[in-house]
Chain A
Amino acid sequence: MSNANADAQSTLRNLSYRQGLAVGTVGVFVLVGLLGVIFPGSIANDLFRIITSRSTLSSALRLSVPIVFAALGGIFAEKSGVINIGLEGLLIISAFTGVLVTDLVGASSSVFFVPAVWVGFLAGILASTLFSLLFAIVCIEFRADQIIAGLAVWLIALGLAPFAANVKYGSPNSDNLGSAGTFDQWTIPVLSDIPVLGAVFDATPVVYLMLLAVPLTWFVLNHTSFGKWIQASGENPKALDTVGVNVNRVRYAGVLLSGVLSGVGGAALSLSLGQFIGNGQTMVNGKGFIAIVAFLFGNYNPIGAFGASFLFAGLEAVQLRLQQVPGYAIPDTLIQTVPYVTVIVVLALVGKTKIPKAAGEHYESGDD
């Protein structure tokens, strides 16, 4: 009895850490808001206006698309027991393939009534999925170290995409496909007229896709057999094997889904801009790694991962806006450290992110 009591108390203490964090975040926003209202023309006032502006929300949604999709993919892979740190590479591959295929089809033409940009989008997903299949075979069939294989996926993509762009376009960046090779805004009448929040209903199709994918992923993980198998495969694969479910098949599915979802994210990124940028870290620029941070932060819960991605994307959006306000040239490199600093703080203070027990371990069935 006293034991149960102690347990309850420790749960309470842990909860209050998380709550404390949430309350703290909201508190900071409220404080900024209050100061902004009280002192017009102050820094706080500028910040308040930026945070509550419709265009900030709009760009936060846009910026979160690749992070959210990669994070959802990462959840599937890692929950099934395969740590996929190659998400960044998958984003790069699909971002490039998306633009390349759209361009090859001809930005303003279509295939069987499917506009080129959607053909490119699907091609991007396909490329990323094939890449993840390769990763899955290496990890599951040949039992390579998942971390090393994941790094290889990233490094190969980081070299291959700009190289291919160089061959095709003579520069690491692709040509700009113009508005025909870019996703349009889909504006929903009436709803889009709501002040500020209307931004949600005046966005590219990939933003809607994201808002659909998050609850769908949550449903799949929590309410379908497949979701339960994914969890069992990552926690105790032997338990799954002994009830007659093929663990490796579940893991292949998990990794391939990470390929599909990262593919959506990567192609969405480049086709929202109409161009692939291959300079330096490419246009993906660490979003795949931030996605890993986001799902860890969200404790493998798709809703939590979305929240974390949105927070990181929101900070980036605010930072971009701040650059335009005279006197606040905050270096973006500084802002980019925020997700990583946050996750260290969260992991240190909250310590509740529960990594699947068998994540990173090969599974060999008892058969011989």
Chain B
Amino acid sequence: MSTAVHLDGITKRFPGVVANDDVDLSVERGTVHALLGENGAGKTTLMNILYGLYQPTEGTIHIDGTARDFHSPRDAIDAGVGMIHQHFMLVDPMTITENIVLGNEPRKWLGLAVDSAQARTEVRELSNRYGFDVDPDAKIEDVSVGVQQRVEILKALYRGADVLILDEPTAVLTPQEVEELFDVFEELTEQGKTIIFISHKLGEVMEAADEVTVLRDGKNVGTVDTADTTREQLAELMVGREVLMEPESDYQEPGDTVLGVQALRAEDSRGVEAVTDANFAVREGEIFGIAGIDGNGQSELIECITGLKTPTTGHISYKGRDITNAPRKQRIDDGMAYIPEDRHERGLVMEFDLTQNGILGSQHSEPFAKGGRIDWNRVETHAQDIITEYDVRPPNKDADAESFSGGNQQKFIVGREFQRNPDLVVATHPTRGVDIGATNFIHDRLLDLRASGKAVVLVSSNLTEVQGLSDRLAVMHDGEIMDVVDPSTVTEEQIGLLMAGEHIDDAERATIAPDGGDR
């Protein structure tokens, strides 16, 4: 085997930040190499350097043993390096063929016209060779994300790429599509292609990669063979200390009821009933978990609680008052924090910098606003505090929210909501897309909140998370709360059954129902 890619002492400095610090990386031809690291560890920067989007401050790139100097992606493409970005670079209204050949169109009539027949044939041949199943004439806007990703891979192959870089390729895929992608990896490496993929998920790295390089704080902290390592070792390398894979949760006696939901019904945006007769109460000093497969009414239930949706019938009480029809502003002012499911849509204003994002929801209240004017000095300090305390990287409060990676955006939202000093936190998928270190941190903060007597509603599709943190766990199926169980005694199989809509018989129930349940 020969070395396809060799990076030698790559350092990249941005104003005020060292993104990559003397990184060495060697990848053998015909292998799958994973680049593992937390959000902001410098993985994407390193790969952008290899793809010619950035020039390294120091260090050299060798492709097939030859030193190369990439000034633009064009140079990288010419050297046989292709990159598939996290956000696809496709033109929606154009066909798959047009997208693949864009910039390298086969011509006819003395180069005057695009030879579409030729293009289509080439695309079909290419996709057959690697066992891809794509319709060359379908428009990008009409095909699934999985197919779009394959189009991106074909685009790189069409340009003669021997080395394929994929930036978090599984982030947008369904589990089924992830499996298919890994099959594609196998097919490609068998035909001599080299694959480098970026990830922060240990499971998929162990499954798909031959070798792993772990980056931490811009440094290469180790390259290991996946056959000789374990998930725990990789996790330790990633965060630089031993990590608890499962959060620790100590039970404590809960206090008064903070949130009460009675006979609540709600409809989804299409007018179909999404929540059927929900009843539960959340008390001070407890974490109330809601588990279930996404789309079983959790979103609508949460929207009713946070005031984004009006229930069809039923009541919601908060700190002893009926808030069923209270406006969102009143709920915020009364100390209800909300970590929304969709951080792009509801968590942040992407075009605002972090300073401005830091006061969303509190922009009208003291201490940030006085007499209709915003005290920007205070707001800036506030944003800086969140960034420091929640380790948002890069630590730049003046950068637009959209310039941060997903994990860092999430950390900032969590920080903002927790800084409100809330009485109730409604957290939906608070650690989705966040790396292990930050996940642990967010979990610890949720437990801190509980210890200080606050109430938490936690919705998550990650069973380990919701089971490990909650004091009581509600399982939803098709809009109905199937049961509220004690997460410390219930088994994953039992939760699985509830999530699938099957009731557990009474004898078994007795052992898993939480004490002091209020059903």
Contacts and interface: CB of A to CB of B under 8 A. Distances in A.
A15 B164 CA distance: 42
Contacts of B299: none
B91 A367 contact: no
Given A366-B53, A367-B72, A243 B91 contact: no
B91 A236 contact: yes
B1 interface: no
B102 A224 contact: no
Contacts of A235: 91-94
Interface in A349-368: 354, 357, 366-368
Contacts of B112: 224
Question: Which of A228, A242, A354, A366 has most chain B Cβ within 10 Å?
Answer: A242
Interface string A195-232: 00000000000000000000000010001110011011
B234 interface: no
Contact of B89 (A223, A228, A231, A242): A242
Interface in B88-112: 89-94, 98-99, 102-105, 107, 112
A244 interface: yes
A357 B73 contact: no
B31 to A, nearest CB: 25
Interface residues of B, number: 28
B161 to A, nearest CB: 12
A357 B102 CA distance: 18
Contacts of B53: 366-367
Given A239-B89, A242-B85, A243-B104, A225 B77 contact: no
B48 interface: yes
Contacts of A367: 53-54, 72
Contacts of A229: 102-103
Interface string A308-340: 000000000000000000000000000000000
A240 interface: yes
Nearest to A232: B91
B227 interface: no
A223 B91 CA distance: 16
A238 interface: yes
B93 A239 contact: no
A59 B482 CA distance: 76
A245 interface: yes
Given A244-B73, A366-B53, A367-B72, A236 B107 contact: no
Contact of B114 (A224, A238, A245): A224
B272 interface: no
B73 A239 contact: no
Contacts of B48: 366
A224 B111 CA distance: 9
A225 B73 contact: no
Contacts of A219: 113
Contact of A231 (B90, B94, B107, B155): B94
Question: Which of B54, B89, B116 has most chain A Cβ within 10 Å?
Answer: B89
Contacts of A366: 48, 53-54
Interface string B280-311: 00000000000000000000000000000000
Given A240-B102, A240-B103, A367-B72, A223 B155 contact: no
A228 B105 contact: yes
B114 A239 contact: no
Given A235-B93, A244-B72, A244-B73, A228 B85 contact: no
A243 B103 contact: yes
B129 interface: no
B93 A225 contact: no
A239 B102 contact: yes
Contacts of A236: 89-92
Contacts of B107: 225
Given A225-B114, A228-B105, A240-B103, A357 B77 contact: no
B77 A228 contact: no
Interface residues of A, number: 23
A282 to B, nearest CB: 37
Nearest to A243: B103
Nearest to B84: A242
Contacts of A243: 73, 77, 89, 102-104, 155, 159
A65 B2 CA distance: 64
A244 B52 CA distance: 11
Contacts of B89: 236, 238-239, 242-243
A357 B92 contact: yes
A38 B248 CA distance: 91
B93 A231 contact: yes
B74 A244 contact: yes
Interface in B405-421: none
A241 B77 CA distance: 12
Contacts of A225: 103, 105, 107, 114
Interface in A234-255: 235-236, 238-245
Question: Which of A223, A225, A240, A245 has most chain B Cβ within 10 Å?
Answer: A225
B114 A244 contact: no
B54 A239 contact: no
B157 to A, nearest CB: 13
A86 to B, nearest CB: 26
B102 A232 contact: yes
Contacts of B74: 244
B390 to A, nearest CB: 27
B114 A228 contact: yes
A39 to B, nearest CB: 49
Nearest to A357: B92
B111 to A, nearest CB: 9
B20 to A, nearest CB: 15
Question: Which of A236, A240, A357, A367 has most chain B Cβ within 10 Å?
Answer: A236
B48 to A, nearest CB: 7
Contacts of A357: 92
Given A239-B99, A367-B53, A223 B72 contact: no
Contacts of B98: 228
Contact of B90 (A239, A244, A245): A239
B113 A224 contact: yes
Interface string B72-87: 1110010000010100
Question: Which of A241, A243, A357 has most chain B Cβ within 10 Å?
Answer: A243
Question: Which of B90, B102, B116 has most chain A Cβ within 10 Å?
Answer: B102
Contacts of B155: 243
A261 B109 CA distance: 25
Contacts of B72: 244, 367
Contacts of A238: 89
A271 B505 CA distance: 91
B158 to A, nearest CB: 10
23 contacts: A219-B113, A223-B114, A223-B116, A225-B105, A228-B94, A228-B105, A228-B114, A229-B103, A232-B91, A235-B91, A235-B94, A238-B89, A239-B90, A239-B91, A239-B102, A240-B103, A243-B159, A244-B72, A244-B73, A245-B102, A366-B48, A366-B53, A368-B54
Interface of B: 48, 53-54, 72-74, 77, 83, 85, 89-94, 98-99, 102-105, 107, 112-114, 116, 155, 159
Given A235-B93, A236-B89, A244-B73, 6 more contacts: A228-B98, A231-B94, A236-B92, A239-B89, A242-B85, A243-B102
Q: Which 6 A-B pairs have the closest CB atoms?
A: A243-B103, A244-B74, A239-B89, A225-B105, A366-B53, A235-B91
